[in-house]
Amino acid sequence: MKHYIQHHPWKIIEDGFLPEYNKVSESIFSLGNGKFGQRANFEEYFTGETLQGNYISGIYYPDKTRVGWWKNGYPEYFAKVLNAPDWTGIKITINGEKLDLNTCKMSNFRRVLNMKKGYFRKRYTAEFADGKKVKIKSKRFLSVVNDELAVIKYSIQAINFSGEIQVLSDIDGDIQNQDSNYDEKFWNEIEKSTSVNPYIITETKKTNFRVCVASKTLLLQNGKYVKTDNIQRIENEKYVAENYTLELIQNKTLNIYKYVAVTSSLYHPKENLAKAAYKVLDYASEKQYKKLITEHEIAWADKWNESDIVIEGDTAAQQAIRFNIFQLNQTYTGKDERLNIGPKGFTGEKYGGSTYWDTEAYLLPFYLSTADQKVARQLLKYRYEHLEKAIENAEKLGFTNGAALYPMVTMNGEECHNEWEITFEEIHRNGAIAYAIFDYTRYTGDNKYLIEFGAEVLIAISRFWAQRITFSEQKQQYVMLGVTGPNEYENNINNNWYTSKIANWTLKYAAESINFIKENNTEEFNRIVEKTSLNLELELSHWADINEKMYYPYDEKQQIILQQDGYLDKELKTVSDLKHEERPIHQNWSWDRILRSCFIKQADVLQGLYFFEDEYSNEEIERNFDFYEPKTVHESSLSSCVHSILAAKLDKKEQAYNFYLNAARLDLDDYNNDTEDGLHITSMGGTWMSIVYGFGGFRVKDGKLNFSPFIPEQWKSYSFQIRFRGALLKITINAAGINIENQSQQDCKVIINEKEYEILKNNKIEVLN
């Protein structure tokens, strides 16, 4: 773990430049606005260790698969969000010497991510080899008001000299992904110009997405725009720049404003990209910096009014949850149903920036409760739009009759993951997508979505499960063979309980949904039957037979659910038996040793008990928690949140708090020594759930909000907000009890510790312990 980030309720602060942690900081201080984002790379020259990263949502490249042993059914490519043209460059040269943060002597270095206002700033004093000193300040934001605009304000002051300064403001399109399988560059140049404001248009190979990046740079000295004819306009391959030469006067500040427009063919005709970019620059020039940042900060204030969690008495926990919420809000806005959320968001290349099942399992609840209902609906609509591709994916593996297997990794609905134990076997992802439909409709009451879109998805997924499940003559039960569960430290196992459970649940829920539509909307029911060619009697009776005869591994002696067949044949140890130098085991053990061990990467049985907690008593959940948690190494970012929620449910308060803190500060403290690759964006939704679902005991049951809260002893109070079916509630919990304020024009009923209360509009209630 690393502890160089200062604790502050609203800011992420690094005091003093630590080159060995620079790539970690580039991840932590990242910015985004839902449409594009970037790592916190320096504007200046920097020859030290760095991972350059600018990313545009929805723009990807199908990098050719690189595997040693090809198998039928493998995808031909791995989709990757591309490292896009770098527009941040404001490179300084003083009297012929470059300002390089890796070679100059630096003091008073500080970088700050202001989460409340949505900007990144830094400052430092640099000393050149000949003793000349300059003071630098920079401030950068990606507008959430105009999501095609980015702005940099850069200030430089000469401390002990006057001399010539060159300011190189550039756009570099000659970049590549660090994770390119064959060291290939993925962009072709289409067009560029420096005649007015520099711009460059590049196009992705194969996928033919086009992006235009344009910039307008203004220099002000003594409060006046610098008029200089000494501008060198540079055009190289995939590169444009303006190089300004002028005099830097001692103790006078030179301010540089760089407005950047990023437009793409996702939103504009290809032939109009430059025109659209110039329109954004005109917009920025008209409003100017002060108004742009003021409007940006107001927009962020609105976001915080919807989604903030306030913790009193624990600055580390407060900073952590706001950092998680900040990243979630700047990664996804729900404006475009074509977009989803990659595990690293806009902060790195790992996992290709593609969509995983993490979205449905760990992110949907956050957007359901903190944003307009349409935002969560867009996440579900994304999967509906990919249904035909999911059917094609299943067909490639031999499934028929419209069966759908949603991909483990995707950009456009097509599977692009190529590890056999994941691509072919980690099929529980299908269940998470079905569960998300249930979760959404349970929360919102939006049965219209179920009728218009959800039912078709449920039918296709159910057809997959009905074919993937096998009837065992020996057992006279249905079994699930050759799978990988959420615990990826087990491959090709039989009867993983979680996979079997969520598959069987899907079949039941799909049948219930079909019957609901049949009873309530005959016209839509007939449309769905015709469109899906559903054989109502034959298929639903088969699903019902599976429901009745599904085999689940269980140990009667210990009265625990078995993770899979044969789990108890392993040498049963606990994590406390591992030596410190063996952790994490995925970095220190052979894969053979991991597969034979009892150690669990992340919640598996416990993931199912979290989803389906209403079907099990607290005693049953606790027996399984006490058996599996000590064997869990938590080497997935998705692990701690589920354990925190269950620990809270079981009144294991200290464990719940510790799991929360592990999840919340995973990146800030670099727990797993991998933050330099990018942040764990999808696990951040789980961090929010740890507080709201865990400590707050929040659930939706029978169309009503339920709370059974407690407060960690480290906190004085905490509060969060919930949107629910038109109501907006602020929930505050302290040692004395719970206070709920209805901030909407709609009456609302809630259940607190199993007792029902009505909260009138613009009113509040207090329930004491």
Are 105 and 131 a contacting pair, CB within 8 Å? Answer: no
Furthest CA-CA distance within the chain: 89
Asked if 513 and 458 count as a contact pair (C-beta separation under 8 A), the reply is: yes
Count the neighbouring beta carbons within 10 Å of the beta carbon of residue 341: 26
For 19, half-sphere exposure in the C-beta direction (CA atoms, 13 angstrom radius) is 11
Q: How far is CA 645 from CA 163, 648, 653, 688, 738, in A?
A: 61, 5, 10, 10, 19
Assess contact for 478 and 469: CB atoms under 8 A: yes
DSSP for 59-85, please give it: -EEEEEP--SS--TT--SEEEEE--PP
Q: What is the DSSP letter of 7?
A: P
Contact between residue 198 and residue 240 where contact means Cβ atoms under 8 Å apart: yes
Tokens of 210: 């086009």
In three-state secondary structure terms, 91 is strand
In this structure, how many other beta carbons lie within 10 angstroms of the beta carbon of residue 13? Answer: 15
Residues 478, 484, 486, 487: is their CA dihedral positive or negative?
A: positive
Question: HSE of 760 in the Cβ direction (CA atoms, 13 Å)?
Answer: 1
Q: Which residue has the tokens 């053990």?
A: 589
Q: Which residues contact 556 (CB under 8 A, 6 or more apart)?
A: none
**Residues ≥6 apart with Cβ < 8 Å to 344:** 350, 351, 353, 677, 678, 679, 680, 681
Cβ contacts of residue 443 below 8 Å, gap of 6+? 368, 369, 376, 700, 724
Residue identified by tokens 């915080």 is: 304
Structure tokens at 519: 């009873």
**How big is the chain by its Cα radius of gyration, in Å?**
27
What would the DSSP string read from start to end of 509-523? HHHHHHHHHHHH-HH
Closest CA to 404 of 379, 383, 373, 381: 383
Q: Give CA torsion, residues 401, 406, 407, 413, to 10 deg.
A: 90
Q: What angle do CA 167, 169, 171 make, to 5 degrees?
A: 155
Query: Which tokens in the block code for residue 341?
Result: 């959320």
Catalytic residues: 488
> Residue 748 class from Cβ within 10 Å (0-12 exposed, 13-18 middle, 19+ buried)?
buried
- Cα–Cα distance measured from residue 412 to residue 416, given in angstroms and rounded to the nearest whole number: 10
